[in-house]
Amino acid sequence: MTTTPLLPNHLSGQWQTGSGPGTPLFDPVLGTELARVSSDGLDLAAGFAFARDQGGPALRALSYGERAGLLGAIVKVLQANRDAYFEIATANCGTTTRDSAVDIDGGIFTLGHYAKLGETLGNAHALLDGERIRMGKDPVFQTQHILSPTRGVALFINAFNFPGWGLWEKAAPALLSGVPVIVKPATATAWLTQRMVKDVIDAGILPPGALSVVCGSSAGLMDQLQPFDVVSFTGSAETARIIRSHPAVAARSVRCNIEADSLNSALLDPAATPQSEAFGLLVGEVVREMTVKAGQKCTAIRRVFVPRALYDAAAQAIGARLANIPVGNPRHEAVRMGSLVSQEQKAGVLEGIATLRTEAELLFDGNSTALVDADASVAACVAPVLLGSREPTKARLLHEVEVFGPVATLMAYDSIDQAHELIRRGEGSLVCSVYSADPAFIAAAALELGSAHGRVHAVSPDVAASHSGHGNVMPMSLHGGPGRAGGGEELGGLRALGFYHRRSAVQASSAALDVLAASACALTF
């Protein structure tokens, strides 16, 4: 096997290559080595200090409106290099063009959204949180809550499944807030993140230190964090535990956002029939969620709840649609689902299916069909698998084990209260979708399930053509979830800026608050 060159890291305003042989990145379909990454030997302390001391002040010298302009300029650079990103995604992530677009165009769209939102904040350098509040009888002395950009760095430790979107959905609100970014992409798919950062740095849009990338080992990164820094993590619950218990978070109160794994659900109204639109909409969405990015989405539907009378019809309809999805080399025009990102993920998904099978029956398995234009002994491809349980109240693993691939479990419920209870056994998820033609059913489900989810997505016949999709994370809506989903919050429009700002109460005379208000902007959602 040929040894490929190391991708340089960008730290301290310079391109720096790590030492040693590095870790290889592979094409998960062809098995060939594409590049190597290494963070060994980097002076991380100097890099974090440079971002904090050079990048931060330069960004904060600009207004929100000016920083929004920088985001707009980044959008143009990414659009100009879009073709290269699709090539990298196909090679390093094994995704079809349609699936690469979710990551690449999704990231560009999110940046563009924040560029527009930022314009509305104009020339301000801080945000006003609510109205002034009188502190006593005399109105001359009042409290005004303000949000000021934190004077530290934002460290992003990202997951392998969204190397493009995962960077920009975090970087857009951070840079708009005036906070410099250091991103550490997941090693397996680090190339796309590195290339996007490279294009933006080469274009000279951002001040030195505003955007850095460290590829390879995460060793030592968390140790650099200081009290005014923030860390935003996306990945497994296991690594999340390490991040949360790190001294930077535990002892230095570094603000920490966690996006971990999640057993998202889909719920069909008991009033549905196999002929109803709600039934068809559920089937279509489950198939889409199982197959987009080969099911490697933190928001993908993992558990599908249908009334007991519709269990067999749903199994048949979903299986029939899955049978029409050719799996294999994403470069082949007939292929609709590519591969997982690595052999490690393939092994993990196969192991996960075996675990779920101890409590579930097999309703559909596409793995008996040959791959298109791919060697099954080399490619990290796994075809869709639909499992089923007629007795989900007796199951434990089905509500606990997230299989990060094209796998979902159909479950029968006997009453809507039981369905809600089973959904909540996921112990906190990113999203639940509800399929019904009845607005009252949807509203009741939202109230029942909202506290256990970051998002409730209702699909009714009247929004069939316009809804944004169960698994699509939109920048104007909250992303995150309670409990095992990590307890984090991202996006949600300008709400995202809160993570990168510090709230303080300014208690002062009306005259002083008038001066303060002149350089701030009221934060409204």
CB of 239 to ligand NAP, least distance (A): 3
Could you say whether residue 261 binds ligand NAP (CB under 6 A)?
yes
Distance (Å) of CA 149 to CA 144, 154, 167, 369: 16, 11, 20, 54
The whole-angstrom separation of Cα 10 and Cα 150 is 22
CB of 166 to ligand NAP, least distance (A): 8
Q: Which residues pair with 146 in a beta bridge?
A: 128, 504
Minimum CB distance to ligand NAP smaller for 96 or for 429: 429
Minimum CB distance to ligand NAP smaller for 54 or for 239: 239
The residue with its CB nearest to ligand NAP is 235
CB of 337 to ligand NAP, least distance (A): 18
Residue window 337-356: x/- pattern of binding to ligand NAP, with contact defined by CB under 6 A: -----------x--------
What are the φ/ψ torsions at residue 8 (nearest 5 degrees)?
-70, 150
Q: Is the separation of the CB atoms in 127 and 154 below 8 Å?
A: no
- Can you read off the two tokens belonging to residue 269? 């109204």
Q: Which of 156, 162, 165 is nearest to 225 (CA)?
A: 156
CB of 343 to ligand NAP, least distance (A): 13
The whole-angstrom separation of Cα 99 and Cα 79 is 17
- Reduce the DSSP state of residue 61 to 3 states and report it: coil
For ligand NAP, the binding residue among 133, 135, 242, 464 (CB under 6 A) is 242
Active site residue 259: yes
Distance (Å) of CA 468 to CA 6, 65, 106, 457: 39, 28, 12, 9
Question: Alpha helix locations (H) across 203-305?
Answer: 237-244, 247-250, 277-291
Q: Is the separation of the CB atoms in 149 and 174 below 8 Å?
A: no
Minimum CB distance to ligand NAP smaller for 59 or for 485: 485
- Can you read off the two tokens belonging to residue 482? 């309670």
- Can you read off the two tokens belonging to residue 63? 């207004």
CB of 488 to ligand NAP, least distance (A): 9
For ligand NAP, the binding residue among 236, 343, 367, 477 (CB under 6 A) is 236
- Reduce the DSSP state of residue 238 to 3 states and report it: helix
What are the φ/ψ torsions at residue 343 (nearest 5 degrees)?
-65, -30
Contacts of 351 (CB under 8 A, 6+ apart): none
CB of 193 to ligand NAP, least distance (A): 10
Question: Binding segment for ligand NAP among 25-33, 141-149, 231-239, 441-449 (CB under 6 A)?
Answer: 231-239
CB of 355 to ligand NAP, least distance (A): 13
- Reduce the DSSP state of residue 361 to 3 states and report it: strand
Q: Which of residues 285-324 bind ligand NAP (CB under 6 A)?
A: 298
Minimum CB distance to ligand NAP smaller for 335 or for 349: 349
For ligand NAP, the binding residue among 90, 234, 257, 433 (CB under 6 A) is 234
Q: Is the separation of the CB atoms in 363 and 356 below 8 Å?
A: no
Q: Which of residues 386-445 bind ligand NAP (CB under 6 A)?
A: 402, 404
Minimum CB distance to ligand NAP smaller for 232 or for 389: 232
For ligand NAP, the binding residue among 218, 316, 367, 393 (CB under 6 A) is 218
Q: Which of residues 99-138 bind ligand NAP (CB under 6 A)?
A: none
Active site residue 33: no
The whole-angstrom separation of Cα 239 and Cα 225 is 17
CB of 53 to ligand NAP, least distance (A): 24
Residue from 93, 215, 298, 432 carrying the catalytic annotation: 298
Residue window 166-205: x/- pattern of binding to ligand NAP, with contact defined by CB under 6 A: ------------------x-xx------------------
For ligand NAP, the binding residue among 12, 38, 142, 161 (CB under 6 A) is 161
The whole-angstrom separation of Cα 254 and Cα 150 is 11
Q: Which residues pair with 407 in a beta bridge?
A: 385
Catalytic residues: 259, 298
The contact set with ligand NAP (CB under 6 A) reads: 157-161, 184, 186-187, 218, 222, 234-236, 239, 242, 259-262, 298, 348, 402, 404
